[in-house]
Amino acid sequence: MVEIVFDMLSLCALASAVFAVYSKETINSALGFMITLLSLAGIFALLSASFLFLIQIIVYVGAILTLILLVIMFLNLKEENLPKEPNKKRYFIVSLLFILPIDFVFIKAVSALDRGDFGVVKEGFGSLKEVGTVLYNDWILPFELVSILLIVSLVGAIVFAKRRI
């Protein structure tokens, strides 16, 4: 039963991600992105990663997606203001053709694994203590580099926005 729910959430995440990329309306893309994030949260819940599940809902769906929706509504984009993309379908098909061999290798690797039980995660996986320990012991440098990158991009966005005015 858990495998069926996992497969359904995975397919839902993939389908909504394709919908988010392929949609013409920006608000529909944001809603497709929201469904993708909620599906990933469901996958975290199935893996008993309660902290990751809550962070996915609170931070990504709650805060970041709300910010994206506010920016979309603030910009009030109309179709005539969007750039023309005459080759969008062609690029999408070509990218799928490049990704398909990788998908087949990935599917073969996953099907070779024993899918009998999702109990392969150790006790405490996804808990606050476990995530914090791994993040601040093993991944502290990449974590800080990402935070510096986000601050630099925020300052750059402000500088570019002021230049337009």
Beta carbons within 8 Å of 49's beta carbon, 6+ residues apart: 121, 125, 126, 127
Q: What are the structure tokens assigned to 152, written together?
A: 């630099």
Q: What are the structure tokens assigned to 161, written together?
A: 């926005």
pTM for the model stands at 0.57
In this predicted structure, what is the pLDDT of residue 114? 55
pLDDT in tens, 41-61: 999 888 888 888 888 888 888
Assign 25 to helix, strand or coil: coil
In this predicted structure, what is the pLDDT of residue 89? 81
In this predicted structure, what is the pLDDT of residue 113? 60
